[in-house]
Structure 1
Amino acid sequence: MTSAKSKKKQDLLNEPVSGTLKNMTIPMILGMVLLMTFNLVDTFFVSLLGTQPLAAISFTFPITFTVISLAIGLGIGTSAVIAKTLGKGDVESARDSATVAMLMTAIIVGFVSMAGLVFSEQIFSLLGAKPSMMPMIHDYMDLWFLGSIGLIGPMTGNAILRAAGDTVTPSYVMGAAGLINAVLDPLFIFGWGPVPAMGIKGAAIATLISWAFGMIIILYILGVRRQMIHLKMPHKDVLKRCTREILHIGLPAAGANMLTPIAAAVMTAIVASYGETAVAAFGVGSRIESIACLVVLALSMTLPPFISQNLGAGKMARVEQAFKITTKFVLVWQVGIYLLMVLLAPWIASVFAKEQNVADIIKLFIYILPLGYGLQGIIILTNSSFNALHKPIAALVLSIIRLFVFYVPLAYLGSKLFELNGLFIGALLGNLLMAIVSYHLFTRQFAQPECLVETKSS
């Protein structure tokens, strides 16, 4: 937000739409490849400990994703407010919002994590975890909850940078944090030299160290190098105004994001009825999904600041063009990813599973669910675009419809009719129906220009 133009920042208001999105998204993809690949290392090394530790860490995914989704949602609100403000040319207000966002996210995520720590026994029992698994779950989650404040670096800090058009720096930070996690995982899980083997607890420690690194680096970049946040507490009037603006979008966005892991928790509970092997395989499939959809996830981080800045500048034709370009692209891209995953399914299953039953379910997951990842991409991009247009309630309603009208109910119905095959097919059908609804509702925005007219209250 300094007056000097950084080479890392894109001009989101004037440069060609497709080229700008490509230049913003490619660095994000590279950073996310490193981050998600190295996060998958957690699952791989824990899988070497056996099926029960793998099942235990699989039970933690819905909860960790819930807290992470909360931080991502607040980051969405942060990015939307800052990008729109920058689109209007108000740099000082953008700096105020960035400062408040860092403080607010730390407080909210810290409070939620402490509640999770206190009630962890009840939470994981509801998910279907057996008493024998609780010690391993505690080994991982107790440390994870305590260190979760480190999420403000990779989530909120990177959202601030993206709002200003810089996606290169966040990719470096994500990649470096992921590399640290990958190096420390085997060291702490299995031990080496003076470092004792800590098992599943070691995976949590590695994660926390990588987060701490990311938070320190982000705070230095934002506060010292770029001067994008204030280094002192803002005035109480600024705190109230910025908090209200960010939470107006951030809370519904966080709610919408948190619905996904909540739905995943319900799905995990359904899968748990088929035994520990099914839970272990489903956990592996969920991690693989994050890799398979990383281009969609990268676009969901780069498209919103583009939309919000152009919204602030009143350039709605660029918003429509950007949305249609990205949705068409992800449909084609994800078909290619599906074909690749089908070819690699036997190898993937053999890498992550020691038992044949687990490997068979992993392959079943890959043969069915990834067929709908392009449709899922349309849903994700539609929701993030509604948030970028400062219409968070629309995004929240669509998320509720997707998960609790289509995705989970159809998966549950399928499981009752055709067991695990039916569960995966039902989830696929849910994504198909919701993609049609999402695309229709968002493109209808541009057929009714009055819906996009700014009001002073917004």
Structure 2
Amino acid sequence: MMVEGPILATLAKLSVPNLISLCSATVVSIAETTYVGRLGLASLGGIALAFPIFMLMQMLSAGALGGTVSGAVSRAFGAHDKARAESVAISALAIGLAFGLAFATLILLLGSPMFRLMGGQGDILHEAVAFSSMAALAVIPIWATNMLASAARGSGNMVVPAYTLLLAGLVQVGVGGALGLGLGPFPRFGIMGVALGQVVAFTGSALFLAAYLRSARSRLRMTFDFRKVSIAQIGAIMRIGGIAMLSPLLSVAAVLTLTTIVARYGDAALAGYGVAVRLEFLLIPIAFSVGVACVPLVGTAIGRGDVTRARAVAWTAGSLAAGVLAIVGGLLSLYPGLWVAIFTSDPAITFAAETYFRIAGFGFPFFGLGLCLYFAAQGAGRVGGPIFAQGLRLFLVLVGGAYLAIFETPLWSVFAISTAAMITMGIGTAVFVKRARW
């Protein structure tokens, strides 16, 4: 199926486990926002400030470098070179551990001034720092988990990584909720207890994936002999992955810019945007589920020299992601309360969140198209064009932010700029992929 199967059916088969994994992200997002809301407005605002930073960890490790690793492993399998596939995997794990240590250190040292620059103050700033200080301990396990999961996906195995992340999400919800709210015999740690759920969940998932990839059941066998780490493979991964890492950085920079602008409209507007943007971040895994499925298909085809099939996979996957997100966007534009009412009944917070969905929902399908084609480009090892298109999105947000600062326009105009930027990113990515040489 990887090399000759019908494209849509194969994509669907490979995407289903990722969609199951998406259930984990959905459950975690809903559950965390729900019980953080019970901790009070300050906690809800604090996690709204911290959330983009930690989502960046997931996007860098699972999407940018993770997709690059999957593409490299799949191209090695397409060329029937399993030794190179193992070398890619162990080199990727070494990269992930190094990045995890660096980012955890930065969060611990610079979290407070960063949140202050984003507009955090008083109790909201205190809660953001408390959450990030504990959650920083999860950053290294997050990187390890996603490097190992990406290597497994590159070999064509979507099932084990998906169910591992699903179980990790359930553990995160259980531990974070129990320790955050003090349920049953557990003490109430507040926002720090919520963060501790991430530490426990991702440490367990990293250890499990390492054990699986050592076993005979894995198509990709890893000995975890770090003497096999290859400087050449690290260089090859980073030549593509270094560019690909700009994608989540640009995406989060756009969200951080919008968060900073929204903070000028008051605590209620910030909390409402925090509720809404959590769903926007869930759109990434929806496109991710299809995009990750197309990476090994594109990579294997490129490894075999079948560029025609690689392009057909890319356009099929992009259309599928855009269609699913169009349904989500249309539904939330018409009925934004389906999401917002889960988390809050405060009129001011509800108004801000519902205003966002009524406008931004029109941009969701373009966002899905652009993101899925970006993953396809990772499979082909050609990511420059999609990254440039994402840079256009950030440029529009920055220009729009300057305009808002000068003319003090209403809140809805912030969300209109966000929507226009998503549409530009989607169309731009499609143009660049069509013109790229694979």
Residue equivalent to 2:203: 212
Query: Using a 3 Å threshold, how does the CA distance of structure 1 residues 77 and 323 change in structure 2: closer, same or farther?
Result: closer
- Structure 2 residue identity aligned to 1:315: D
- How far apart, in 2, do the equivalents of 1:207 and 1:147 lie? 6
- How far apart, in 1, do the equivalents of 2:338 and 2:8 lie? 36
Q: What is the CA deviation profile of residues 187-216 of structure 1, one whole-angstrom value per residue up to 9, with x for unaligned ones?
A: 111113431111111110111111111111
Residue equivalent to 2:415: 424
**RMSD (CA atoms):** 1.9
Structure 1 residues without counterparts, runs of 5 or longer: 1-10, 446-450, 453-458
- How far apart, in 2, do the equivalents of 1:150 and 1:394 lie? 31
Structure 1 position 146, deviation (Å): 2.2
For residue 13 of structure 1, the aligned residue among 3, 16, 20 is 3
- How far apart, in 2, do the equivalents of 1:399 and 1:148 lie? 25
Equivalent residues, number: 434
- How far apart, in 1, do the equivalents of 2:297 and 2:398 lie? 32
Residue equivalent to 2:135: 144
Counterpart contact for 2:377–2:383, Cα < 8 Å:
yes
Residue equivalent to 1:3: none
Counterpart contact for 1:222–1:229, Cα < 8 Å:
yes
Structure 1 position 153, deviation (Å): 4.0
For residue 320 of structure 1, the aligned residue among 283, 292, 311 is 311
Query: Using a 3 Å threshold, how does the CA distance of structure 1 residues 112 and 385 change in structure 2: closer, same or farther?
Result: same
Structure 1 position 151, deviation (Å): 0.8
- How far apart, in 2, do the equivalents of 1:165 and 1:121 lie? 41
Residue equivalent to 2:399: 409
Q: What is the CA deviation profile of residues 98-152 of structure 1, one whole-angstrom value per residue up to 9, with x for unaligned ones?
A: 0111122111121122022111121111111104333322221111112211113
Among all aligned residue pairs of Structure 1 and Structure 2, give the percentage whose two residues are the same amino acid: 19
Q: Counterpart of 1:198 in 2: which secondary structure?
A: coil
For residue 94 of structure 1, the aligned residue among 85, 97, 100 is 85
Residue equivalent to 1:61: 51
Structure 1 position 38, deviation (Å): 2.0
Residue equivalent to 2:225: 232
User: Larger deviation: 145-154 or 412-421?
Assistant: 412-421
Q: What is the CA deviation profile of residues 156-177 of structure 1, one whole-angstrom value per residue up to 9, with x for unaligned ones?
A: 1111111111111111111101
1:117 and 2:108 correspond:
yes
Counterpart contact for 1:100–1:234, Cα < 8 Å:
no
Counterpart contact for 1:310–1:316, Cα < 8 Å:
yes
Residue equivalent to 2:21: 31
Q: Counterpart of 1:166 in 2: which secondary structure?
A: coil
Q: What is the CA deviation profile of residues 298-319 of structure 1, one whole-angstrom value per residue up to 9, with x for unaligned ones?
A: 1121112211111111111111
Query: Using a 3 Å threshold, how does the CA distance of structure 1 residues 347 and 310 change in structure 2: closer, same or farther?
Result: closer
- Structure 2 residue identity aligned to 1:114: T
After superposition, where does 1:231-270 map in structure 2 within 5 Å?
Answer: 231-235=224-228, 238-270=229-261
Q: Counterpart of 1:129 in 2: which secondary structure?
A: coil
1:172 and 2:130 correspond:
no
- Structure 2 residue identity aligned to 1:233: F
Q: TM-score, normalised by structure 1?
A: 0.90
- How far apart, in 2, do the equivalents of 1:284 and 1:137 lie? 15
After superposition, where does 1:354-393 map in structure 2 within 5 Å?
Answer: 354-393=345-384
Structure 2 residues without counterparts, runs of 5 or longer: none
For residue 279 of structure 1, the aligned residue among 270, 276, 287 is 270
